[in-house]
Amino acid sequence: MNTPFANKIEMQRRLFSELSRLFGQEVPLYGKSLLVNKECNKVVCALLSQMYAGFNLSEAQLDKTSGERHGAIRIGKPEEYRWIAGFFAAFGMEPHNFYDMTKVGNKSQPVSAT
């Protein structure tokens, strides 16, 4: 099958990019924080290239390492867990953590998350 989405890594990249874009519309400072992150990475890479001969990060590598790397999906019902597991699997991903926010003291919320 040769579709634009045949490569799961490319699918992940497009998913993360779109989620970041959508979140940036909701929270304008989010997009700015990604730009700040990239600029900080540029400065650190420039210093490392001065300290270590041969250290060189291309613009493409810098873009890749400066992008979004975190996400949270709040789910709680068994059918939601099954659905999200299938969704992750379609992108070659799997849930990696779980936390229950129903028992965190005065900040408790009726949320279980993975």
pLDDT tens-digit readout, 57-85: 888 888 878 876 666 666 777 788 788 88
- Give the predicted TM-score (pTM) of the model: 0.54
The candidate with the shortest Cα–Cα distance to 99, out of 79, 75, 80, 82, is 75
Q: DSSP for the chain?
A: ---TT-SHHHHHHHHHHHHHHHHHHH-HHHHHHHHHHHHHHHHHHHHHHHHSTT----HHHHHHHHS------EE-SHHHHHHHHHHHHHTT------EEGGGSGGG--S-EE-
* pLDDT means over runs of 10, the chain (114 residues): 66 82 82 87 91 87 75 72 82 71 64 46
